[in-house]
Amino acid sequence: MVNICLAIEYGRSDSYRVATTTDKDEKESPKKKGAKDMDDLKKEVPITEHRMSVEECCRKYNTDIVQGLTNAKAAEYLLKDGPNALTPPPTTPEWVKFCRQLFGGFSILLWIGAILCFLAYAIQAATEDEPAGDNLYLGIVLSAVVIITGCFSYFQEAKSSKIMESFKNMVPQQALVIREGEKMQINAEQVVAGDLVEVKGGDRIPADLRIISSHGCKVDNSSLTGESEPQTRSPDCTHDNPLETRNIAFFSTNCVEGTARGIVVCTGDRTVMGRIATLTSGLETGKTPIAKEIEHFIQIITGVAVFLGVSFFILSIVLGYSWLEPSSSSSASSWLTYLRDCWPQSLCV
């Protein structure tokens, strides 16, 4: 998926550029504006520091290759740019997840079956002196089955989600930065543009870095570019494309050997990985093949049930039976029973 996104960014970026006037921009719907934002993300990565000299980078970010940023300047940048972290995708409210478990998939069929049971019992109670309780009991059982299985599925899903979240927060990412001439270990989320960062073999790159010195440094870019071999990092610009040059190390990649020192040029969502993450999270996701098959199967079962129920009802009316006659096959209670019996009552258990 990442490689596809990169191909979109560099291989076909021109096709996404749209010329619009100011008046048209003001009249754009939120959906069109969202599409325009996605087009902006698909354009080339706005990193030019790889073509700058080290001195030019230092002047741009008001930093020093020996002393690094001052604490005051770092606090100012952190307040302006925000923490060095990717914006998490929007989460689904818990009540929506619970409702999906109760009413999603085959559960909706059982709910319909339970409602039909209650309707059939209500009609029997209105037309008979001593109605049988079969429909009432079956409706209660079907409702209980759906509620119990839905609650169980919801709590299992919630438990799995909490376990994954605990793993994410178990070991907070650290970064070694130089500020006011002193090396300090800080949380990676506090890294700002202009920080002087040191990395060594085994470290995770905390942000997009412009390499200013390197000693046998190699990074693993497989998660970003798909390159299986470790790539050498050096202070020299070797390509106009920031993804191909050797003097840029990218956020979330790993240093596999050697040491390097670099100036942070992008943090958080402004990094190459952040742009790709935003791009992929904004893509519309279609239904999976299994979801399509389940939906198609439900439609078939529903169609068959309605067809048989209506057919028997019409046939009985044509033969002269009354639709309110308790013993008649055309009675409303019998018709609802036909519909109920056509549904697989234990399919979602």
What is the rounded CA–CA span in Å between residue 34 and residue 41? 11
What is the rounded CA–CA span in Å between residue 160 and residue 171? 19
Domains of the chain by start residue, with CATH: 47-84+191-273 (2.70.150.10), 94-167+286-341 (no CATH)
pLDDT tens-place string over residues 238-287: 988 888 899 999 998 999 999 999 999 999 888 988 888 877 776 666 67
User: What Rg do the C-alpha atoms of the chain give, in angstroms?
Assistant: 32
| Confidence at residue 215, expressed as pLDDT on a 0 to 100 scale | 93
Structure-block tokens of residue 67: 């002393």
| Confidence at residue 338, expressed as pLDDT on a 0 to 100 scale | 59
| Confidence at residue 241, expressed as pLDDT on a 0 to 100 scale | 87
pLDDT tens-place string over residues 287-339: 778 878 877 887 787 777 778 777 877 777 777 665 545 444 445 555 555 55
Residues 43/17, Cβ–Cβ less than 8 Å: yes
* CA atoms 265, 268, 272, 273: torsion sign: positive
The fraction of the chain above a pLDDT of 90, given in percent, is: 26
pLDDT tens-place string over residues 8-65: 344 433 333 333 333 334 344 444 444 544 455 445 667 888 899 999 999 999 899 8
Mean pLDDT rounded to a whole number for the chain: 77
Give the pLDDT band of residue 222 (cuts 50, 70, 90): confident
